[in-house]
Amino acid sequence: MTTVTRSPAGTQAPAGHTLLEGQIEAYKRDGFIIIEDVLQGDELSRVQAAFEKAQAVTRLDWEAGRAKGKGVSENGEYYASGTFHGRKYFDIYPLHLLEQDDACVEVIAHPQLFPFLSASVGEDVQTATIQVRVLEPQTAQDAQEEGGYVNWHRDHSSDEEWRFSGRPLNTKVLLYLTDVGEDDGCTACVPGSHLWDRRPDHLVYKGMGGGDNQATKVCDQRDMPGMVAAEVKAGSAFLFNTRLWHTTLPNTGDRDRWCVITLYCPFYQKQPGVTIEAAVALEAVGQLNTPERRQLFGLDMMSTSKNPYKRLAQHDGSDTDDRMFKGVRPPTLGEPLK
Ligand SMILES: O=C(O)CCC(=O)C(=O)O
């Protein structure tokens, strides 16, 4: 198995290229990059402390569900409990992390990430899903029988716009808050697979997800040809084109893996409810206080955007407010014309 702790050899910025140009070149070719030390020192400690507090509360809910067998699917894979919990991991309601400390809000709009997100997804990039995830260790036997908590997959397949414009519709960022060594649940991928039309065969390779029967799978996750596993330090991030084939290897280590998984999309895509709830709550307490935060949480478009359509709540219904429609309107919005 090949491991990577940074973007693979030869993907650093060639002479004469800026760091960002080197990152984009690697991303186009390999489908992913690693940015080390996005968080470090005091900033990392603050986010870890907030994560510790938030996870302790959600863990009780998850364990209670697990004890009761609540929401278990036929093969015992999923626990439904307000948020997306699985048998080997649980997700924390995003706002419960974000509201703890301003450093957690900065994670989503971090200056180490923003230029790359803007260059890869587009200048109108915003946040789609935010998943705050705890992955528990599993036994060696469990790992052998079932593999890691998620199988080989790609998140998105029909991405025609990407083919047309050369940009991925979505970039996903996994920001790890614990060190992830070889046996700690590494994210793994097949470099270059974002360019292929076919998907990985999840019925052959072990790994949880989608109710697959693990007993009939004949290959280990690590048997995937060409795969590399990302061994990273806490505070580092794995950023990938969501067409990339990826999986998570078993966590047979002795500690939980903590991670914030954020999906970024263009402004015209809809944001899920939990992200909007976080945006509304953070706005109410004045934490969406930079143009980057306002843009990424979906409140404002980039101020210099060439396509500055307003959101519904920003319209006042007047003709001067709307640059597209200059015709006759009902005197009161919603009333039929007489
Ligand atoms: O947690 C990981 O390592 C990978 C997560 C994943 O597969 C996904 O978000 O699509």
Least confident piece of the model among 3-7, 250-254, 283-287: 3-7
Give the mean pLDDT of 172-183.
98
Calculate what percentage of the chain has a pLDDT beyond 90.
60
* pLDDT tens per residue across span 27-66: 999 999 999 999 999 999 999 999 999 999 888 888 877 7
- 168 neighbors 194 (Cβ within 8 angstroms): yes
Q: What number does the ligand 1 atom closest to the CA of 153 have?
A: 7
Q: What is the mean pLDDT of residues 223-245?
A: 97
Domain spanning 2-307, CATH class: mainly beta
The pLDDT of 143-172, averaged and rounded, is 84
Q: What confidence tier does 79 reach under pLDDT thresholds 50, 70, 90? A: low
pTM, to two decimals? 0.87
Q: Choose among 275, 263, 182, 273: nearest CA to 229.
A: 182
What pLDDT is attached to residue 161?
Answer: 66
- Residue 178: how many CA atoms within 13 Å on its side-chain side? 23
Atom of ligand 1 nearest to the CA of 150: 7
Distances (CA, A) of 296 to 84, 93, 111, 136, 300: 23, 18, 12, 30, 8
3-state secondary structure of 82: coil
Q: What is the mean pLDDT of residues 323-333?
A: 64
Q: For residue range 244-265, what is the model confidence (pLDDT) as tens digits?
A: 999 999 999 999 999 999 999 9
Token pair, residue 265, equals 């999309």
Output the CA 54–ligand 1 centroid distance in Å: 20
CA of 187 to the centre of ligand 1 (A): 7
User: Of the residues 241, 261, 265, which should be mutated to test ligand 1's pocket, given the most ligand atoms within 8 Å of the CB?
Assistant: 261
The residue extents of the domains of the chain are: 2-307
Q: Which two tokens stand for residue 28?
A: 């186009």
Within 6 A (CB) of ligand 1 lie 150, 155, 172, 174, 187, 246, 248, 259, 261
CB distance 176 to 244 below 8 Å: no
